[in-house]
Amino acid sequence: MLPDASLGTLKSPLPIIETHFHLDYLKNCPADEIIFHSHQMGVKKLITIAVEPGNLDRVIQLSQSYEQVYCTQGIHPHEASHWNSEIKDQIISNLKAHKKVVAIGETGLDYYYNKSPPQQQIEVFKQQLQLAVDFDLPVVIHTRDAEEDTAKILFQYSDKLKKKGVLHSFTSHADLAAKALDLGFYLGFNGIITFKNAENVRQVVKECPLERMLVETDAPFLSPTPFRGRENAPYLLPFVIQKIAEIKEIDCLTVLQAVYQNSLSLFDKLSS
């Protein structure tokens, strides 16, 4: 899916940073075109996320191929059962060798799908949090149906994590949002906030301080309304910005300015 002419009216007058997407997973459009059209819509920098052993090196290759693209290093909780010393060493080697790695993750806990045993997810999550501590990087966190354990682990590590991190694609309870915000973490919001049945997430958006919010697409997943059922892409970020402004009853420029500065504050290697 490429942006049509109607998207032109949503072109951002200020720069946007795509803080979470999966460039190597997008299939409907070549990477060159995705990045070009995203730039046309105001998306000036993009962070493509590592989630599995097979794409740790791939996201680095993409960041080396495109000036605007940065990346992370980490293993998703679905992949926790595959974690071993070789994967950890590979991540450490990549962190030492590549300056465009801006965070650890996507890591965390997912008890909804439970594709890896919970105790193994916890152990792998903790090991990756320690890597974030050791390399002074923020962490990109996935959590689903694991609020209690996520909050407990974040509390254990928050003092050691100087740069904290983001709970991306936030859909959890308001209680976890409050705890994460109190610890200094950001919340990441995407097309879910446009979904008809996501009133609970919109309430979190309403209550979350603007200075603790980030925007993302999680592309190719979670296309915003009115593009449900089609592959998502960073050039649809203006729809997320527009919805946040609507929910918080403020203008889009205020949202754009805030989330841009928030992105640079958390992922400070984007500015170097």
What does the pLDDT profile of the chain (272 residues) look like in tens digits? 444 434 444 677 889 999 999 999 999 899 999 999 999 999 999 999 999 999 999 999 999 999 999 999 999 999 999 999 999 999 999 999 999 999 999 999 999 999 999 999 999 999 999 999 999 999 999 999 999 999 999 999 999 999 999 999 999 999 999 999 999 999 999 999 999 999 999 999 999 999 999 999 999 999 999 999 999 999 999 999 999 999 999 999 999 999 999 999 999 999 97
Q: What is the pLDDT of residue 14?
A: 85
Q: What is the pLDDT of residue 272?
A: 74
Q: What is the pLDDT of residue 216?
A: 98
CATH superfamily, domain at 12-271: Metal-dependent hydrolases (3.20.20.140)
Q: What is the pLDDT of residue 5?
A: 38
The pair of three-digit structure tokens given for residue 62, joined into one six-digit string = 């993409």
Distance CA 91, CA 102 (A): 13
Q: Are 19 and 267 in contact (CB under 8 A)?
A: yes
Provide the strand spans (E) within 91-181: 101-110, 139-144, 165-167
Q: What is the pLDDT of residue 10?
A: 62
The pair of three-digit structure tokens given for residue 38, joined into one six-digit string = 């995203």
Q: What is the pLDDT of residue 7?
A: 47
Q: Are 107 and 140 in contact (CB under 8 A)?
A: yes
Furthest CA-CA distance within the chain: 50
- Those residues with Cβ within 8 angstroms of residue 139's Cβ, 6 or more apart along the chain or in another chain: 74, 103, 104, 105, 107, 128, 129, 132, 161, 164, 165, 166
Q: What is the pLDDT of residue 104?
A: 98
